Structure 1
Amino acid sequence: MVNIEDFIKRLEVILDYYGLNASSFADNIGVQRSSLSHLLSGRNKPSLDFILKILEVYPEVDLYWILNGKGSFPKVSVNQEISSRSSSSVHSANQEVVPPGIASTDKAIVSKINTNIQDATTYGSDKESEIDKIVIFYKDGTFKSYHP
């Protein structure tokens, strides 16, 4: 059974990830704005049609993650997971950026983020990009946002 409160949190994660408000999200997936409002307030439960519309418009959303918090968001393909695992051992010599307020249990996550940041900056080294936000997603459906 889908825990509605947790589902709402995961839906809010999607909205935050794409930088959308509820109205534009409803328009994008083709549902009435009031339907999404009722879902976000906990008044209504999501229908199968609603879930399928999200998956159709946003293929990065994993079905099992949106329904019960298992899996990841954005969806990680097998190739991406293997790539990030193999590159994490290369990064140890570089200085890590640890945002304020990170708990010691989150150090492994920060290390992996730093690895991916290093890979991204190496890949796009001709352009200098500044990090706007780092979001850490937990298996229980919660998340933390850091603005370096």
Structure 2
Amino acid sequence: MVNTDDFIKRLEIILDYYSLSASSFADKIGVQRSSMSHLLSGRNKPSLDFILKIIDIFQDVDLYWILNGTGSFPKNSELIQNSNLVVQNLDTPTPIDLFSQISLSEEKVSVSEKMKQVTRTSENENSDEIEKIVFFYKNGTFKSYKPNS
């Protein structure tokens, strides 16, 4: 159950963060201004539809934060805090560039070379020759036969 008083406080934080009045906020999320007024006064409780509209329009609002205060607002601040903790926990003297481009060209070349080697190997083998025949039995044992070359 959502604590209405705490929800109103979090809603006011959102209004301050985006520098919106209650009426402009109501217009932005597509609800009647009177319903916003009733909600802020504590007369009405927030509906699921109201909460989903907030989350849909304002991407920085976390569902768990708006409902019960867990998490952070804006969402990005939690990501920045977590990434700072990761960088601080590393024992490297040089800063790490978390947003650098990864070069995949070397890997692509090596994969294409491997594909060429597999193709060449399979072209050189005679596909009509049987290398090995394996029989698997229900009791978990098997027998392997290799034809004489």
**TM above 0.5, one fold?**
yes
Q: Identical aligned pairs, as a percentage?
A: 71
- 1:85 corresponds to: 85
Q: Which residue of 1 aligns with 2:22?
A: 22
Aligned length: 89
Larger RCO, structure (CA 8 Å, separation 6 or more): 1
Alpha-carbon distance between aligned partners in 1 of 2:20 and 2:68, rounded to the nearest angstrom: 22
- Cα distance, 1:83 vs structure 2: 2.6
In 2, Cα distance between equivalents of 1:59 and 1:13: 15
Aligned equivalents of 2:74, 2:21: Cα separation in 1: 18
Q: Which amino acid aligns with 2:24?
A: S
Match of 2:73 in 1: 73
TM-score of the aligned structures, taking structure 1 as reference length: 0.55
The C-alpha deviation readout for 1:78-124, integer Å capped at 9, x for no partner, is 753333225668xxxxxxxxxxxxxxxxxxxxxxxxxxxxxxxxxxx
Could you list the per-position Cα deviations for residues 111-148 of structure 1 after superposition, in whole angstroms to 9, with x for gaps in the alignment? xxxxxxxxxxxxxxxxxxxxxxxxxxxxxxxxxxxxxx
Correspondence for 2:2: 2
Post-superposition Cα deviations, 1:57-92, rounded to whole Å, max 9, x if no partner, equal 001000000001111000137753333225668xxx
Give a deviation string over 1:3-45, Cα, whole Å, max 9, x none. Answer: 1000000000000000000010000000000000000000000
Q: Any stretches of 5+ residues in structure 1 without a counterpart?
A: 90-148
Query: Secondary structure of 1:61's partner?
Result: coil
Change (3 A) 1:78 1:67: closer
Contact 2:72 2:78 in 1 (8 A): no
- Structure 1 segments of 4 or more deviating over 6 A? none
Q: Mark the runs of 5 or more structure 2 residues left unpaired by the alignment.
A: 90-149
2:60 pairs with 1:63: no
The equivalent residue for 1:11 is 11
Q: What is the alpha-carbon distance in structure 2 between the residues aligned to residue 42 and residue 70 of structure 1?
A: 21
Superposed CA RMSD in Å reads: 1.9
Map 1:1-148 onto structure 2 (within 5 A).
1-76=1-76, 79-86=79-86
**TM-score (normalised: structure 2):** 0.55
Flag the structure with larger Rg: 2
